[in-house]
Amino acid sequence: MKIVYVYKALALWGGIERIFTDKMNYFSEQYRYDVTIITTCQGNHTVPYSLSPKVKHIDLNIRFHTKYLYSILKQLWIGHKMNIKFKRLLKEQFDTIKPDIIIVTTDLYMDVVTQLANGIPVIAESHSDKYQNLLSNNGKKLNIIQQYEQYKYLKSINKVTELVTLTEQDAKIWNIPKKTVIIPNCIHANHIEHSICENKQVIFVGRFSYQKGIDYAIDIWKIVHQKHPDWELHLYGEGEMKSLYVSEIKNQSLDTTIFIHKPTSHIDNAYKESSIFMLTSRYEPFGLVIPEAMSCGVPCIAFKCAGPMNIIDNQINGILIDNGNIQKFADAICYLIENEQIRKTMGQKAIEKAQFYDIQNIMPKWKELFECILKAKKQE
């Protein structure tokens, strides 16, 4: 079976890049599928996660993001030329590879891919909030061209063969039940060692962006630090707003209790050194870092957005907080700090819950989906 992914680039230390890499590796190594990923702007960026040599990577070298450096009118002209080139090069690759199935995300290139598929089944994966993509980018309103592009992607959803969402809530938002399948993200959950939840350390892992709510995390930790000055918060990530948050931490005199680290491919070691995981996202369709932390035996605290609400069983393997309630979030961290046995019990329950998301349990769902799609295609 030939599978082709179409995406912008495998360049960031992000959840989508991680999950795509893991799935492509599994398809090629375990199921022996012929897997190719076609990117538009990989350029000289290194792939952050280890990609199997069996997975082919083709970059079209179309740097779509550069058009936004120009005025609106020039964006239209440059974007038009880029789209012509993109369609030509992508069609050439589809004609050469002759894939059985094409996979794309709902927020990128779905319109072009469905135009060029020519009878090839197309699966769209939803990894982001349907309407948030249309309205904003890291808290800033999209310009008219960006809004139009997102509108085109959303409108193209009716042309895909299947839509894969990560949660039931996300499926309800898309509201196309006849072609929607729910398959959560997967992790490598079978760890030999786990956190003993005794270190005075809380961890956050995520992109330094408006969505991830690092500003919330700083405000929360200011409250926690007043009650528990011997505890530390460790932030792992990169992103466009990192310098802003670094300055804010210094301005709040929290730089002796909040520590920032670069992303690492060995994040499991950081989880195992931590006793609590916090996720302060304003919106989160899934939140891969939650089951990752759980698999290492770390109880999780998060706001009540779609992903965390599907993963965390409140007061059993973690704690859910009403969106934006800084004081309640700080209180929850203090509660787990002050109740070691409850913290450890939640950590053990978290290990059990994480098994559901193990790659060995999730990937057969993808295999079944592929086989059902190809079987239906033969019967047409």
pLDDT score for 134: 54
Which of 42-46, 145-149, 237-241 shows the lowest per-residue confidence on average (mean pLDDT)? 145-149
Match 């992000």 to its residue by tokens: 14
Paired sense of beta strands 136-137 and 122-125, if any: unpaired
What pTM value is reported for the model? 0.90
The token pair that represents 234 in the structure block: 């460790």
Q: Do residues 186 and 359 touch, judged by C-beta distance below 8 A?
A: yes
Residue ranges of domains in the chain? 2-186+359-378, 201-357
Is the CB of residue 301 less than 8 Å from the CB of residue 329? yes
Of the pLDDT bands very low, low, confident and very high (cuts 50, 70, 90), residue 72 is confident
Percent of the chain surpassing pLDDT 70: 95
- In Å, the largest CA–CA distance within the chain is 66
Among residues 201, 209, 212, 366, which one has the least CA distance to residue 289? 212
- Residue range 312-371, pLDDT digits in tens: 999 999 999 999 999 999 999 999 999 999 999 999 999 999 999 999 999 999 999 999
**CA pair distance 355, 344, nearest whole angstrom:** 18
Q: What is the pLDDT of residue 357?
A: 97
pLDDT of residue 131: 62
| Cα angle value 84/86/92 (rounded, 5°) | 105
Tokens describing residue 26: 């599994």
228 neighbors 195 (Cβ within 8 angstroms): no
Residue 190 has pLDDT above 80, yes or no: no
Give yes or no for a contact between 300 and 354, defined as CB atoms under 8 angstroms apart: no
Judged against a pLDDT cut of 80, whether residue 302 lies above it is answered with: yes
225-266 confidence digits (pLDDT tens)? 999 999 999 999 999 899 999 999 999 999 999 999 999 988
Spatial separation of the C-alpha atoms in residues 173 and 343, rounded to whole Å = 34
Distance CA 221, CA 243 (A): 18
Order of strands, sheet of 2-7, starting from the edge strand that comes earlier in the sequence? 56-59, 34-39, 2-7, 101-105, 122-125, 162-165, 180-182
The predicted pLDDT at position 67 comes to 80
> What integer best gives the mean pLDDT of the chain?
92
Q: Are 289 and 199 in contact (CB under 8 A)?
A: no
| pLDDT band at residue 132 under the 50/70/90 scheme | low
- Pairing state of beta strands 180-182 and 162-165? parallel
What average pLDDT does this structure show over 144-159? 76
Q: By three-state DSSP, how is residue 233 classified? A: strand
Question: Check: CATH 3.40.50.2000 for 201-357?
Answer: yes
Asked, colleague to colleague, whether 2-186+359-378 and 201-357 share their fold, the answer is: yes
Residues 6+ apart with CB under 8 A from 299: 197, 276, 277, 317, 318, 319, 336, 343, 346, 347, 349, 350
Residue 245 CA, distance from chain mean position: 21
The matching CATH number, chosen from 3.20.20.70, 3.30.1330.10, 3.20.20.100, 3.40.50.2000, for 2-186+359-378 is 3.40.50.2000
Two tokens, residue 84: 């012509």
Q: Which residue has the higher pLDDT, 242 or 152?
A: 242
Give residue 346's pLDDT: 98
Listed residue (76, 77, 141, 62) closest to 109, CA to CA: 62
Give the three-state DSSP class for 165. Answer: strand
Using CA atoms, how far apart are residues 65 and 145, in angstroms rounded to an integer? Answer: 12
Contacts of residue 266, defined as CB under 8 A and 6 or more positions apart, other chains included, come to: none
SS3 260: strand
| Six token digits for residue 274 | 């931590």
Asked if 319 and 331 count as a contact pair (C-beta separation under 8 A), the reply is no
In angstroms, rounded to a whole number, what is the distance separating the alpha carbons of residues 347 and 201? Answer: 14
Q: Burial code of 42-69, b = ≥16 C-beta within 10 A, e = fewer?
A: beeeebbeebeeebeebbbebebeebee
Task: Report which of residues 156 and 357 the model is more confident about.
Answer: 357
Per-residue tokens: 206: 């995520």
Q: Is the pLDDT of residue 66 over 80?
A: yes
- Round to whole Å and give the CA distance between 205 and 235: 6
